[in-house]
Chains A and B, each alone.
Chain A
Amino acid sequence: MTETNRSFLEYAPAPESQAILNLKKSYGLFIDGEFVKGHGTPFATISPATELHIAEIANANAKDVDTAVVAARRAYDRTWSKLSGADRGKYLFRIARLVQERARELAVAESLDNGKPIKESRDVDIPLVAAWFFYYAGWADKLDYAGLGAAPRALGVAAQVIPWNFPLLMLAWKIAPALAAGNTVVLKPAETTPLSALLFAEILQQAELPAGVVNILTGAGDTGEALVNHPDVNKVAFTGSTAVGRAIARSTAGSGKKLTLELGGKAANIVFDDAPIDQAIEGIVNGIFFNQGHVCCAGSRLLVQENIHDEVVDRLKQRLSTLRMGDPLDKNTDIGAINSREQLNRIRELSDIGEGEGATRWSAPCDIPKTGFWFAPTIFTNVSTSNRIAREEIFGPVLSVLSFRTPAEAIAKANNTPYGLSAGIWSDKGSKILAVADQLKAGVIWANTFNRFDPASPFGGYKESGYGREGGRHGLAAYLQTSQRVEPTETVASTRSIARKAVKS
């Protein structure tokens, strides 16, 4: 490379090799420890970055759902409920170690199928998957001490439906606590991202998990519907859109099934004028452009104090101009592909509406690849609280910037949303952070950071963001029958987690 015609910043391609993957041409349903054919019409899963075919995936119909639930019930009755907590823990530890051993392979599969940059699947998704299994493995023999009363019991068969934004991580969030608590599982991954769940099924075989303890059914919405409505299911856990969550709440009402929902969000990321400015800019970027903004807790509403508004927007634009969009498997890619054409269309539609409503649109200058689904990181300024882009979840790399003058106004604007999943506060003043956090109605509040996850910290929302908590001790309660009438997950104080960080500066 000569310095005159190419720039150092156009880093030479550094793609992660796909050779590590050993994919099959087609995948069946994972029922009772085996891959079996589905009775629905199979579908293809594609790479959203290239639109190329990856593998053919079986489609589970109502009959397959029934077979899987029967297998899970049998495994629960005969095997899993008979094992000691320590033995269940051993399986979970084994799964965690296998995930670590096959981390690179899982990361490549995840980026290929989902479109997220390999640096995120490699450094965030897969390490957290292993962490989740390690964490709940430790709880399996300590349920009596989880603060849920004496001898809490498993519920039985758990039906779990997960989204496409963090395919394997959401699987871990669901399966790890369910198994630790002694339940068996039927899980449906999202239609557009089944690949890593199927590789996970292979890991379960490798771990020699007893047949039927975990069953994985691929398919679309009707498969999920059949699963959550199956009469022999004791527990339903769903992560996804508020519309579907509402339908599930309606259909499971009165059935006696225990339900947790983790739904949408429209999080406020509040930046005060005394914030550590360079780190706040990074945090804003990480808050909304991490995983192409396909994050339910994304900081999609930036609330910035009026006196630093212009400076923050200016610095943000500069920073966004350095983001690298492209091949998700390239180790230097910051922004990958949008997961599906359908999602891309929704992001485009809402962005056009934003412009139509009078907000000012700015997109980072990116070379958009010719094939695949892409959307450049975009900021809207001059946004009013009544604009649809300030109220609806876009689930894409689109940030709406609003301003505020006083902490009271920031709190009022932050809480003025039907959602309540997460929020961020940026300030160098600890007392201000605590005072504001105390008044925000959101399940997770990050201080001087954003989008940090830890298996020990409960996660979940208020209002239309759902109910129940995943992660931590609270996450166990969702999978156990307890002798206590009031579960600790229902109180505000115990569910709020403020990510506190070491103060060195």
Chain B
Amino acid sequence: MTLEQSVSLAPAERAIQLLGGDLTERALRLHLEGLSGVDAVGLEQRAADLGTRSIKTTSKAWALDRIIELIDLTTLEGADTPGKVRSLASKAMTPDAGDPTTPRVAAVCVYGDMVPFAVEALGAAHSAGTDRGINIAAVATAFPSGRASLRVKLADTADAVASGADEIDMVIDRGAFLSGRYGQVFDEIVAVKDACRRADGTYAHLKVILETGELNTYDNVRRASWLGILAGGDFIKTSTGKVAPAATLPVTLLMLEVVRDWRRLTGERIGVKPAGGIRTSKDAIKYLVTVAETVGEEWLTPSLFRFGASSLLNDVLLQRQKMTTGHYSGPDYVTVD
């Protein structure tokens, strides 16, 4: 044991509950390294099996609507403008102008500086901390790389929350994680969680992006998932969407297994958000099946499961139109953004 490992960590409630009051980096490391291993072949096989479920007729209709309700409609481009964000907000409120029965998405997801425009565009449709309406999620902490000082990351977060973001999607420091500095990653998440605190004492929801494409092994994904939960994340999220591979079904299955185990242990429910690379209804339905058969159907609700996606919505709308009209629609029957 090096001296560094006996360093005390920020007193996060969940970690204290599980690892004891004297919370050190060493205790955290022992826990993470003591987790059961993941067999890659078996995990991928199970994910592939879940992908063969055949969801038809009434089940498919329900699934399509539910997918829309679980989408964080996202635009995260350097070229984003207030106009683009207004357009996105409009689509979030009315995904299909031709069919008023189409449900709304769960949230719009934008960069921090775009939050005021999203607040303005959503207007009364903005949930603003209530249960009803569309949330605004902001990526923060020097998204997507996370390469900035903690001071900058916290300012980034606090700024987005002050502008009206309901949810913060933060990135973990993958460099620190891969070099084994679990305590540093942990402390950062705790600090960002603290920065999510609003003036009235409530908190913006915190999604912890693991960037699984950079973690490389399933064992790492399992450790990072536990780390994110222990440090206080409300959600664990696969990816930024800027690194390939982004969300995959096996990775999401693995994270759902961690969430299921956490619930067995504590009774507490943690959300999961696969993001990036989910473009078709067919793929999204595989995720719904995986959620329902791994943690249970109760997870198929916006407070516990989200899709981070941009082009997925249009494919779902096309499928939805096909189910109501009986014939295939085309890309010109849905709006470009």
Q: Write the residues of chain A forming the contact surface with B, with a CB cutoff of 8 angstroms.
A: 1, 3, 6-14, 119, 123, 274-279, 282-283, 322, 331-332, 428, 448-449, 501-505
Contacts and interface: CB of A to CB of B under 8 A. Distances in A.
A290 to B, nearest CB: 11
B315 interface: no
B42 interface: yes
B60 interface: yes
B60 A276 contact: no
Given A9-B293, A276-B42, A505-B218, A14 B55 contact: yes
Interface string B36-53: 111111110110000011
Given A3-B62, A428-B37, A505-B217, A14 B56 contact: yes
A8 B300 contact: yes
B36 A276 contact: yes
A278 B38 contact: yes
B53 A11 contact: yes
B58 A279 contact: no
A276 B57 contact: no
A11 B257 contact: no
Nearest to A502: B41
B46 A282 contact: yes
Ranked nearest first, the 7 interchain pairs of A and B with the lowest CB-CB distance are A279-B42, A504-B40, A14-B54, A331-B54, A276-B39, A279-B39, A428-B37
A12 B56 contact: yes
Dominant secondary structure at the B interface: helix
21 contacts: A8-B66, A8-B292, A11-B59, A12-B56, A12-B57, A12-B58, A14-B56, A119-B52, A123-B52, A276-B42, A277-B36, A278-B36, A278-B42, A278-B43, A332-B53, A502-B40, A503-B40, A504-B217, A504-B218, A505-B218, A505-B219
B63 interface: yes
B42 to A, nearest CB: 3
Contact of A449 (B42, B218, B257): B42
A84 to B, nearest CB: 40
B62 A449 contact: no
Contacts, number: 92
Contacts of B54: 11, 14, 331-332
Contacts of B58: 1, 6, 12
B97 interface: no
B59 A1 contact: yes
Interface string B214-238: 0001110000000000000000000
Given A14-B54, A331-B52, A505-B38, 4 more contacts: A12-B57, A278-B257, A279-B39, A279-B42
A29 B90 CA distance: 69
B288 interface: yes
Contact of A322 (B55, B57, B293): B293
A279 B43 contact: yes
Contacts of A504: 40-41, 217-218
A102 B293 CA distance: 32
B59 A8 contact: yes
Contacts of A275: 36
Contacts of B52: 119, 123, 331
B131 to A, nearest CB: 16
A35 B78 CA distance: 72
A26 B299 CA distance: 51
A11 B292 CA distance: 11
B297 to A, nearest CB: 5
A469 to B, nearest CB: 25
A448 B36 CA distance: 14
A63 B46 CA distance: 50
B7 interface: no
B19 interface: no
B63 A8 contact: yes
Contact of A505 (B39, B59, B62): B39
Contacts of B60: 12
A7 B70 CA distance: 17
A269 to B, nearest CB: 14
Given A275-B36, A276-B38, A8 B219 contact: no
Contacts of B63: 8
Contacts of A3: 62
B54 to A, nearest CB: 4
Given A278-B257, A332-B54, A9 B292 contact: yes
A10, A119, A277: residue with the most chain B Cβ atoms closer than 10 Å? A277
Contacts of B148: none
A424 to B, nearest CB: 12
Contacts of B18: none
B45 to A, nearest CB: 7
Interface in B259-294: 288, 292-293
Contacts of B39: 276, 279, 428, 448, 501, 505
B38 A8 contact: no
B321 to A, nearest CB: 19
A283 B59 contact: no
A388 B46 CA distance: 33
A505 to B, nearest CB: 5
B57, B61, B257: residue with the most chain A Cβ atoms closer than 10 Å? B57
Nearest to B288: A8
A501 B61 CA distance: 40
